[in-house]
Amino acid sequence: MSKKAKAKAKEVNYYKPYHKPLIRRRRPNRSVGGDVGLYIFLGLMAIIMVFPLVYAVANALKPLDELFRFPPKIFAQNPTLDNFSDLFVTLGKSWVTFTRYLFNTIFITFAGTAGHLLIASMGAFVLAKYDFPGGKGFFKIVTVAIMFVPQVTQVPNYILLSKLGWIDTYWSIIIPAFASPMGMFLMKQFMEGLPTSLVEAAKIDGATEWKVFTGIVMPNVKPAWMTLIIFQVQALWNNNGGMYIFSEQKKTLPYAMGQIQGGGIARTGQGAAVTVVLMIVPIAIFIFSESQILETMASSGMKD
């Protein structure tokens, strides 16, 4: 871009994230009793939703005798970290180290999430801001693909990956993650709320397609791609890859943890610790990005 164009773009704030004009909120017509009832209901729902997490953490802190006590207690009477120490001792005895399992999981999660974010965002940008033959039909295919559960696509995926020679490699999990239809659907619906005039004004000033995509579109749809990252990280972090990866050195952390959980009654305490270890990363990412998710869910269906 020329200096004159850059100055003009800076003046009209083309490259600053677009925000919809604030709408004055109407005060809901409810009585005090209605407000109290609503808060009580929301509080009960919050307790119901958080109870599984609290119970999982409490189980991980229970000694073995309390885990088999009936009727079970919610909280540990004699909390201990022995389950976690036993878990890491068991992992340390494996001929494949814990760090290797962890590296495999982190690499697959990072590569799959980054690739899916890039492909879904670029595809959604084209579908949302350009009219071309077959565009609407392609988006209908994406919408229909959301309805298929992973179990339905496992067999055709395996056949295709086998012919490509990607079985027993990291790519057998990473490449299918690129094509997840949910990401493209979410990004496309959110990008449609971005004014087309903002994109056209930048092009008139000489911005390239890549500059429009990275400098204007992506900053303005940050809540959408932050939500997409959370969903994809959760899916890949918990993927054990047992159907596609057979070499022990390429196995993921959920696979190793699953083997420990299936070790019988003696490993019940370690199994409870496994549950907590596997849910730490998805929950931490969700907590740090909660506001972005709420903004996405609130505005992804709105149109100007």
**What is the tens place of the pLDDT at every residue in 262-298?**
766 767 777 888 888 878 877 777 777 666 566 555 5
Q: Which residues are within 8 A (CB) of 81 and not within 5 positions of it... i.e. 6 or more apart?
A: 61
In a domain? residue 81: no
Give the number of domains in the chain: 1
Residues 105, 55: Cα–Cα separation, whole Å: 26
Condensed to tens digits (0 to 9), the pLDDT of residues 110-134 reads 999 999 999 999 988 888 888 888 8
The CA-atom distances, in angstroms, between 98 and each of 53, 81, 205 are: 25, 19, 53
For residue 53, how far is the Cα from the chain centroid?
18
Secondary structure of 157-210 in HEC code, one letter for each residue: HHHHHHHHCCCCCCHHHHHHHHCCHHHHHHHHHHHCCCCHHHHHHHHHCCCCHH
Separation CA 276–CA 263 (nearest Å): 17
Q: Is there a contact between 252 and 239 (Cβ–Cβ < 8 Å)?
A: yes
| Structure letter (DSSP) for residue 249 | G
pLDDT at 27: 60
Is there a domain that residue 175 lies in? Answer: yes
Residue 45 in domain: no
At residue 240, φ and ψ (nearest 5 deg) are -85, -10
Q: How far apart are CA 44 and CA 138, in angstroms?
A: 43
Query: What is the Cβ-side half-sphere exposure of residue 183, based on CA atoms within 13 angstroms?
Result: 26
Measured distance CA(94)–CA(192) in Å, rounded:
51
pTM: 0.73
* Domain contains 73: no
Structural domain including 106 reads 11-24+86-299
Per-residue pLDDT of the chain (304 residues; tens, 9 = 90+): 555 555 554 544 555 555 555 445 556 566 777 778 888 998 999 888 888 888 888 888 888 778 777 787 888 888 888 888 888 777 777 777 778 888 888 899 999 999 999 999 998 888 888 888 888 888 888 888 888 887 788 888 889 989 988 888 899 889 888 888 888 888 888 888 888 888 888 888 888 888 888 888 888 888 888 888 888 888 888 888 778 888 888 888 888 777 776 766 767 777 888 888 878 877 777 777 666 566 555 554 444 4
Q: How many residues does the chain have?
A: 304
First to last CA, the chain: 29
Alpha helices in the chain (DSSP H): 3-12, 32-60, 64-67, 82-92, 98-129, 135-145, 150-164, 171-178, 181-191, 196-204, 209-212, 218-220, 222-237, 253-261, 268-288, 290-299
Does residue 52 fall inside a structural domain?
Answer: no
In the numeric block, which tokens belong to residue 21? 């004009």
Give pLDDT, residue 111: 92
Residue 77 falls inside a structural domain: no
Query: What's the pLDDT at 107?
Result: 92
Q: Which CATH number is 218's domain given?
A: 1.10.3720.10
Evaluate whether residue 36 is within a structural domain.
no
Q: In this structure, is residue 53 part of a structural domain? A: no
